[in-house]
Every structure is written in C-alpha cells, then in structure tokens.
C-alpha cells in the first residue's frame, strides 16, 4: 500500500514591513504527528472550492489544524471586542477543504480551531471568548510551559469512539483555546466535556465518514492525553479507506 498523503490546513502569518509578505505555515507538532503515525504531511495553500476538490482527490486524509479565531459572521454573530483577529481567507479555505473531504469520504481529524470550524461548517455556533461569556474555574487558555501537560480533565461518553480508544471515562487534556463550541451543528455528536460542560470532543454521525474532533492538542502531548493513540486511530481509518 502507498504511504498515505495527509493534507494539513495552513495557518497564516503576516510579517511586518519591509518583509510585508503573507506566509502560510504549520507548526512542527502537526507535521510530526502525521509522520510518526506513518503518513506524509502535505501543507495546503488557501484553496478555492475547485482547488480544494482537486487536492483532496489526490490525498488520503485531511488534518484540520489549530490556529486563529473564527470569523463570527460565519455563525451569524457580530464580532465582539473580545474576539481576537480572524483570518477570513483561512476560514473559507478550511471550509472548502472540509467540504471536499466529506464529498469524497476521506477521513478527517480536527484539532482545536479545526474542531471549532468543522462544527461551524455544520451549522454550529461558538463562544467568542470563554473567560467573558462562560466564566468559571476551568482554565482553558494555558499557553505556558505547561501546554504539553494535562491542565483539566474531560469526561468521556461511555461507548463513544473516544471511550473505545482510551478505555477511560475520564482523561486529562491540555488546553490552549479561548473560544469554544456553544451549540453543536448537524451531525455533531459530543463525546467529551470539560468539567464546566464545554464540548471538548465530538464525532460525525455518519458510519461511512470518519471525522473526529478534539478541542485539545494530542499532537503536543503524546504521553499525557493518549496523544499518539488519537493519530494512530486516524491513520488506521485512512488506510482502511484506501483499500
Ligand atoms: Mn479546554
């Protein structure tokens, strides 16, 4: 069997003058997670609908990576001051790639922003800022030296794909997000929640389509949150789909 090619959604970085260029990039955790799971990472550009379809036809799976806040107009809200900078170009490209993957039945793994934009694509909505809109004891934005560690727990739905994968009804996860899922979209089935009730993982309600979404970052934390299991499970689905 050929080695699976996995498309990664790119992030956008804008350099200051005189290096006033737009860069698309992804971080090394993302590429390493795919390499370690036995795939070849392929970084996309910002794709229109036809380009996304062309790319996904040649690829074997899609990794919706983490990144910037989502443009609130996509879920019918006005942008509030506590929403950070958005990248409409990326929002549109992410949705085009996801649409193509679903059309072609290619397996999809969604991490952090990926988990959020896939939910929005399916008609769900977002908290624009958790500390403002859902204040509580659970710290979801931990971007320090502890980002690879578990900073809060999630309760795992019994019998769900995540439960079958981990064998646990509670696991510790890292947390590097200030936005979160408010309402779920069509076909979004939650399978893990943080102690404050936020949906932290979901799967797509379609037996013929592998789509798993995680609000945390298993690619950064191979040990503490069953990180590599999550990517190995994705790659297993990719290989089965290639047969
Ligand atoms: Mn969290």
Q: Of 6, 17, 96, 8, give the one whose Cα is nearest residue 58.
A: 6
- Residue ranges covered by each domain of the chain: 5-242
pLDDT in tens, the chain (243 residues): 899 999 999 998 876 666 656 788 999 999 999 999 999 999 999 999 999 999 999 999 999 999 999 999 999 999 999 999 999 999 999 999 999 999 999 999 999 999 999 999 999 999 999 999 999 999 998 887 767 788 899 999 999 999 999 999 999 999 999 999 999 999 999 999 999 999 999 999 999 999 999 999 999 875 545 667 999 999 999 999 999
| Identified catalytic residue from 112, 115, 152, 157 | 112
- pLDDT tens track for 164-173: 999 999 999 9
What's the CA gap between 167 and 169, in Å, rounded?
A: 7
Is 219 among the residues known to form the active site?
yes
Q: What is the Å distance from ligand 1's center to 76 Cα?
A: 24
Question: What spacing in Å lies between the alpha carbon of 58 and ligand 1's midpoint?
Answer: 34
Measure 215 CA to ligand 1 centroid, in angstroms: 6
Residue 209 to residue 174: CA distance in whole angstroms: 27
83-111 tens-digit pLDDT: 999 999 999 999 999 999 999 999 999 99
Closest CA to 200 of 216, 177, 178: 216
pLDDT, residue 16, reads 66
Based on the residue annotation, tell me whether 178 is a catalytic residue of this protein: no
What value does the CA radius of gyration of the chain take, rounded to a whole number of Å? 17
224 C-alpha to center of ligand 1: Å?
14
Active site residue 78: no
Nearest to 61 by CA among 200, 237, 218: 237
Q: How far apart are the CA of 51 and the centre of ligand 1, in A?
A: 33
User: How many whole angstroms separate alpha carbon 237 and alpha carbon 166?
Assistant: 16
pTM of the model: 0.95
Q: How far is the CA of 242 from the centre of ligand 1 (A)?
A: 33
Of 223, 202, 1, 227, nearest to 108 (Cα)? 202
Looking at domain 5-242, its CATH class is: alpha beta
């Amino acid at each position: 069997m050929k080695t699976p090619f996995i498309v990664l959604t790119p992030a956008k970085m804008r350099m200051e003058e005189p290096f006033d260029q737009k860069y698309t990039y992804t971080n090394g955790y993302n590429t390493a997670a795919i390499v370690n799971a036995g795939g070849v990472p392929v970084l996309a550009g910002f794709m229109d609908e036809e380009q996304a379809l062309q790319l996904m036809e040649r690829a074997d799976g899609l990794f919706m990576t983490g990144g910037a806040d989502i443009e609130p107009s996509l879920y019918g809200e006005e942008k509030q001051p506590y929403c950070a900078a958005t990248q409409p170009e990326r929002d549109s490209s992410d949705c085009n790639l996801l649409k193509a993957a679903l059309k072609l039945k290619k397996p999809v793994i969604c991490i952090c922003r990926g988990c959020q934009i896939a939910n929005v694509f399916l008609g769900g909505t977002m908290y624009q800022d958790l500390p403002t809109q859902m204040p509580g004891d659970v710290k979801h934005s931990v971007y320090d030296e502890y980002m690879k560690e578990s900073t809060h727990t999630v309760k795992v739905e019994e019998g769900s794909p995540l439960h079958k994968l981990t064998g646990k009804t509670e696991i510790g996860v890292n947390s590097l997000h200030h936005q979160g899922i408010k309402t779920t979209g069509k076909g979004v089935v939650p399978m893990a929640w943080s102690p404050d009730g936020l949906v932290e993982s979901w799967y797509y309600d379609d037996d013929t389509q592998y789509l798993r979404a995680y609000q945390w970052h298993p690619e950064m934390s191979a040990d503490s949150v069953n990180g590599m299991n999550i990517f190995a499970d994705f790659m297993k689905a990719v290989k089965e789909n290639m047969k």
